[in-house]
């Protein structure tokens, strides 16, 4: 599915826009600032995360966006224009119109409702623009913050999936949440 890269999603306070190469330094800074939390839950996060890692990821974001394989967004504070985090849709199954939603928030913006606003904006985009039938959110059983975000946006907890996640060699159970259009289109 072809979606223009200049799309923006906003509630007035939080703005989502397509990831850009010029975000590389700020992305790297945010990862490094947040590494203690990210490394627990994100398989790509590591102590040696570098600017080159950010450039590689951001370059891939453009390519996979063009192919409709993933839609990754930078989360920005609408008033200050500071980058607050990232969110996206991945593991897209067009046959069944299902995608996985992921998000992470820069340490200095945690516990401010940013993730839930971004997740809701992203869910509306998925249902209204991409016409998905289902969005899945999976979080390690110990990742309470991510689970709270899913619950705040109205996702339904479907259960615990055993041995779902491999985080740096640790095999973790994951909690599966789902959203369908009826959950948010009220």
pLDDT tens for 61-108 read: 999 999 999 999 999 999 999 999 999 999 999 999 999 999 999 999
**Contact assessment for residue 68 and residue 89, using Cβ atoms and an 8 Å cutoff:** no
Angle of helix 144-152 versus helix 114-128 axis, rounded to 10:
50
Task: Report whether 174 contacts 165 (CB < 8 A).
Answer: yes
Residue 3 lies in a domain: no
Q: What pLDDT score was predicted for residue 63? A: 94
Contact assessment for residue 43 and residue 170, using Cβ atoms and an 8 Å cutoff: no
* Residue 139 domain flag: yes
- In angstroms, what CA-CA distances link 69 with 53, 89, 90, 98, 149? 20, 9, 7, 12, 24
Domain that holds residue 49: 8-184
The model scores a pTM over 0.85: yes
Neighbours of 94 (CB within 10 A): 12
- Domain assignment present for residue 98? The answer is yes
d(CA 5, CA 17): 8
Residue 175 lies in a domain: yes
Cβ–Cβ under 8 Å, residues 127 and 167: no
CATH number at 125 reads 3.40.630.30
For residue 34, being part of any structural domain is answered with yes
Burial group, residue 26, by CB count within 10 angstroms (0-12, 13-18, 19+): middle
> Looking at the domain assignment, is residue 83 inside a domain?
yes
Q: pLDDT class for 168, splitting at 50, 70, 90?
A: confident
The 10 Å Cβ neighbour count of residue 83 is 17
pLDDT in tens, 106-141: 999 999 999 999 999 999 999 999 999 999 999 999
Asked if 114 contacts 105 with a C-beta cutoff of 8 angstroms, the reply is yes
Kindly state the percentage of the chain with pLDDT values over 70. Answer: 99
Q: What confidence category does residue 186 fall into, taking pLDDT thresholds of 50, 70 and 90? A: low
Beta-bridge partners for 72: 88
Question: How would residue 184 be classed by pLDDT, with cut points 50, 70 and 90?
Answer: confident
In a domain? residue 2: no
Give tens-digit pLDDT for 28-49: 999 999 999 999 999 999 999 9
Closest CA to 110 of 24, 17, 36, 51: 36
**47 is a domain residue:** yes
The number of distinct structural domains making up the chain is: 1
| pLDDT score at 2 | 78
């Amino acid at each position: 599915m072809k979606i223009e890269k200049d799309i923006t999603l906003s509630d007035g306070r939080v703005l989502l826009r397509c990831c850009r190469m010029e975000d590389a330094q700020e992305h790297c800074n945010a990862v490094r600032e947040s590494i203690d939390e990210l490394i627990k839950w994100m398989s790509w996060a590591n102590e040696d995360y570098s600017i080159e890692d950010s450039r590689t990821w951001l370059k891939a974001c453009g390519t996979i966006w063009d192919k409709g394989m993933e839609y990754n967004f930078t989360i920005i504070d609408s008033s200050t224009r500071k980058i607050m985090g990232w969110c996206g849709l991945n593991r897209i199954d067009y046959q069944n119109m299902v995608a996985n939603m992921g998000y992470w928030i820069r340490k200095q913006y945690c516990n401010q409702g940013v993730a839930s606003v971004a997740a809701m904006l992203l869910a509306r985009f998925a249902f209204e623009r991409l016409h998905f039938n289902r969005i899945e959110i999976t979080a390690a059983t110990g990742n309470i913050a991510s689970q709270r975000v899913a619950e705040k946006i109205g996702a339904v907890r479907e259960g615990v999936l055993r041995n779902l996640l491999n985080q740096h060699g640790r095999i973790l159970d994951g909690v599966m949440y789902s959203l369908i259009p009826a959950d948010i289109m009220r």
